[in-house]
Structure 1
Amino acid sequence: MSVMRFTGANSRDAMRQVREALGDEALILANRRTDSGVEILAMAESSAPGGGEVPTAPASPAVAESRAAPAGSADGAFAAMSEKLLEEMRDMRALLARDQQGRESPSGLDAQICDLLLGVGFGTALADEVVAALPDELAAADIQEERVMAWIKRQLVQRLSGLDDEAAFLDRTGVVALIGPTGVGKTTTTAKLAARYVMRHGTRPVALVTTDSFRIGAHEQLRIYARLLDVPMFALTADQPVNDLLGRMQGKSWVIIDTVGMSQRDHRVIEQVGHLRGGSTPVRLVLLLNAASQPETLEEVVQRYRQAAQAAGAELNDCVITKHDEAGRVAPALDIVMRHGLRLLFVSHGQRVPEDMSLAEPPALIDEALAQRREVPYRGSASAPRDASAGRTPTLMGQGRRLAGTLQALRQRVDGFGELEAVWDLLGLPDSVQQQRLDDLLASYPGPDRALGMLWSERRRVSGASWSMPDIALNADGDWLALPLLQHRQVAGQQPRLADAETKLGASVHLMAGLPDADACQWLESRSQSWVSQVRGSQRVEHAGERDPLKALAALADPLDEAHCRFRGMAARLKLGTLAVNVVPRPARRGDEGLAAQAWFAEVRDAESGRTVARRYWLTPARLARQPVPLLLHQLQGDGLALLARRAWQRIEPQELGELRPDVRLLMASGTAAVAAHLDLADDEAAMDLRAELLGLAGGRRRRRDVALMEALVELFLVRDAIRHLGLGEREAG
């Protein structure tokens, strides 16, 4: 197909013809107005450029019949220009394709990070995962900058799971079986681990077991270690169940099994793991990984042994890295551990028992790995070494680890996130069960002395919605609690609500939408509580004996220094001014002299263009002087919460998710919006990392940042719910 001409009475009619003939993906080459309307030249995006005459689309009955343009006419020149343009586009695409095929590396910080990680021995999949989480704040930086290297280390450390406390492993009684290929160091590691048990619990409760009847002297080697440690050693034959052996051990609390070494390709691996799991006594499996092995070998070892554990109905989540002292680089082994979501318990680095084994410390291991750099070709070049992770999709375990890590970080950072999760847990339950569990949850939420203050929403429906935005409690640090408070569950009347918040929550700071009424204002002043009221520019106040709207007094305000802020998902600058005024709350009483107040005038400007995007007005009690500035900023940053909650409400579709009460849906939406806004506003490194991780899980940033974070959080909750559903089977009904 070549270029086609479409003529319509107007642009809408012409575009309709384009869509009907070529589809929505048509490529518009040129358009112009003619005596008969509008003319468009277009072609299908996948079509090759043609030459010669421009075909004409069939005309609709309402449009005059088009004719082929004669050479030399205006129409012919228009068609020739369009064909030339199309030819140039084809040449440009070919040039870009050749450039893409011939270049050896991408550009920018992401390429530098890839080069670093590949150079020290991490795999392509992990490098891509890390780069995908690169925050916008670092995009223009250089890898030599300290903050960039600190970010890279944080990304790697948080992906490397270890023991927070050695006691958590050594104090847990039971049977531990060390498994892995031949020559990985199981017998020596068994002795080192036994020595740690003995040093912690003494010799009496510890026993060693060997299943290795193949290697000459295998029993004798372990027996020597047992004699040195003064603990008994037992042999377990291939046809002997673990339970029978434990019966002979006279109640040993800590039993370590040294298994026979087998190639990961040996079909007997499944039999071996099945034998260990054959009894009723639970056995903890620990996989040993040789740090000096090739990445491809390590990849195969983890996959085969995990498959064997799964076939035997067991779990394989723990590992030990051995022969650390023999490895030129530690990164390949760490890469395997990270991508498969294994927990690294210990690192063995020599033959001495027990000295040459230490608790795995992720920060130290990552520092060591990053210091062992070699120059390697870019992964896309022909001479690049084969990467064990290249071409692999992230494992379910690896993705599950990322999801779990993100959720854990949110729980630790955002106050009330656990309660928000509990609301999402109601998804799919019967209506009556949702109601009962929601009542139980909200009866004690947020609890006494948990809230420093309240962000009170307007007492009317959100524009374009059938509900009112819930109120949000602020904790002692001034951060929003993740789970808001529904308006219809609160007492009626402004002053009773304020008193209730003080009594039940301990709230003494109030960010209000509108001037408090006379009773509420009197109560706030009698309690000397801090309050900020956002009002309209038309709000009338008294100044210099005159009664004027606030917006008319802006020019008289004393200016304050500009401040950086975020406003509705974008970076902004806040220009503030203030003026002493007098205001009379409604309903006005005879003889009421009003309240001495401070008026605040704000101009919000786009940080990049300097364009004014919003103006805001506030009133605060005069007794606070200029102290409320942080509160003004806090209320301003909550300006877009209601609209963000409305977007979240639309994303949480009951028809797709099952039975869902409107109040549960509203808490899900408003809570998710509150968490997204919190992450968008925070400027610390932990928040930066968490933002990047969320946006990376959601496929990157597509819209303004707060909206993208909200969508990522909704997806995170939905995936979490799906995983729980698969893991727990059918939902309980009561």
Structure 2
Amino acid sequence: MSVRRFVGANSRDVMRQVREALGEDALIVANRRTEGGVEILAMADEAVDHFEPSPSALPPSTSVSQVAFPPRDSDPLQVMSERLLREMQEMRELLSQRQSAAELPATEGYIAPQARLRQQLLSIGFSEELSDEVLAELPAALAQPEADSTLVMAWLRDQLMARLPVLKEENGFFDQAGIVALVGPTGVGKTTTTAKLAARFVMRHGTRPVALVTTDSFRIGAHEQLRIYARLLDTPMYALDTEQPIDELVGRLQGKQWVIIDTVGMSQRDQRVIEQIAQLQGGKASVRLVLLLNAASQPETLEEVVLRYRQAARAAGAELDDCIITKQDEAGRLAPVLDIVMRHGMRVLFGSYGQQVPEDMAVADPAALIDQALTAHPNQGKESHSFPAAGNSMGAQSVTLPRWSRDVLGQGRRLSSVLTRLRDRVVGFSALESVWDIASLPGVLQDKRLDALLVSVPCAGKGLGMAWFPRRNERGCDWTMPDVGIDADGGWLALTSLQHRQPAGWHTRLLHQGEAMGAAVHLLPVFPDPTTLAWLEDQHLTWITLVTAAQRVYCQGERYTQRQLFTDSPLSHHTDLRFRGQTMQLWSTYIKVEDAAGTPLLAWVGDVRDPENGKRIARRYWLTPARLGADVLSLLVIQLQSEGLSSLTKRAWQQLKEADNGEVSTEVRLLMASGIAATVGHLDAASDEASVALRSDLLRLLGTARKRRDTAMLDALVHAFMARDAIRQLSSVSREGLV
């Protein structure tokens, strides 16, 4: 199939011709305006590889015997399009050649340098995520088969070292007065490490400024072990009971400048971890937390330790960015612990590799640590697995960010700009961010924190009204769609209202939630009962309600169904709208009617039509107060646009559920999903210049083109939130003393 020419009166008409002839995936090669309208050259995507350009389109350097210049009567647009197609063919051939080279290992025993490096990193214990991230930056010169392996390994070593934050020198740690608490699971070496750190401090500053503290009242002999070290170092030792406030201890320290706390070891799955860290952070004194990681532990265990202890720290309003790697001498390979440290953006202060105090501990040296990891025998330990990417705050078994979402991490300025403008534009977006922050806390705290948030911002500010949804589960889901607020300009609010937190009955529901928000407009999914209708009319509130085609009303004394009422009625008025992610038109008309009680109403019928071919996509019926006249038309459009929020919420819900693995409260997840959907619906329906620019920047974060604008924006916003969390964690590492 060759390039085909299409001519139409306008762009919409000619694009319709292209779609009908070549399908949705047609390739637009060139376009221009002509006296008769618009001209487009297009072809089917699958025909590109079989395209044979005319001699006039070939470059002059092809050969002496070929035509070097186009004939005088040739069409410049045709020549340009053929050249573009030829370039596309060459690009596809190049990609095909690269793919063939990558497949050589299975056919000829050849392994490309990049694939070989990846194999090596995985075999010694680095994760797929980190390996792919590092090797994505491999220079083209080093990816060639003839590249010097020494240079390749030197480059790899430098890349890994650059990703390993460490303490620059001991003075950066020991010269800062304050309280340091070592935390971590049982048996990780906290007591021995406490003694080693205390000894290092004493060697620099003497015994007078230092004190040792233990909170371990569970393990037999724990106090005595630390007491022996304290006697050897000639330093005082104190015991802190599990329920004793940290401020009481500070009062007993008598001006000690440097205090180190040996905490009780707890499994990362023990809920008391939260209580322990909350106790350490509960006073006026600032306590610096340092997490101990056992280099000999399984990668899965280390991953869970980091996630759980960091969750507990965030729940207490603290940071946990520093770590000490212990038992290096017992580890068969060092790569797994370094991989986890790199992906979570933690800083390694020291490495511990024996029982001697204080000799068997040193400031973390990136070169030595990476060399030890790279020289591990490939058969040592189990094969590495894929673990969550850095900063994913959804729980221990979270799904990693997709590659394009990890790329968002490099777009910090754009991401920050997008989020800032969303806060300014979408009412309640800051509250949605607070809900997202709750999801990063331990599960036992999420519902309590959500209750407090909803009390402080029940509706994220006052709005124009509410779009109410039916009180039934969404199809295929075990939750009901939350109600969504409307701002003064008709846009959606980002913090939605959970239906199961509202009282039963439409009258009570509207009275309770509507008055709490100050809503003057109500978009109802069903015709209200007489009590509710009377209340709406008595309060002179603005309302519209969807009804079925079988809804009965009275017109000039006769009883009709809505369908019968509009059998012969032409639809004379139309307005544009966004419907289910597409630009459509609403054609409508209305008739004066009454209900059974004699309340004056307007009965409406509306067809949603495709503006290109006039095809009817959907038909809806409404009833509205007669006193409001035709001014309610804009509200009909808003309610139609609300129909897309349910499907967007389902999409976001599924993505979040896959990411959090059930560790996020159902209420929190539903508010996150519906809030993201409402934000996207807000942007999708807006047409001002600021919204167009904001949509463009949000979609650029996605990095790939999509057919549907609304779902593309939703995917981009979900993963922008994930990237925001990753950036926060990576940037929270203290900067003093970093290499």
The TM-score, its normalising length taken from structure 1, stands at 0.45
TM-score, normalised on structure 2?
0.44
Answer 1 or 2: higher relative contact order, Cα 8 Å, separation at least 6: 2
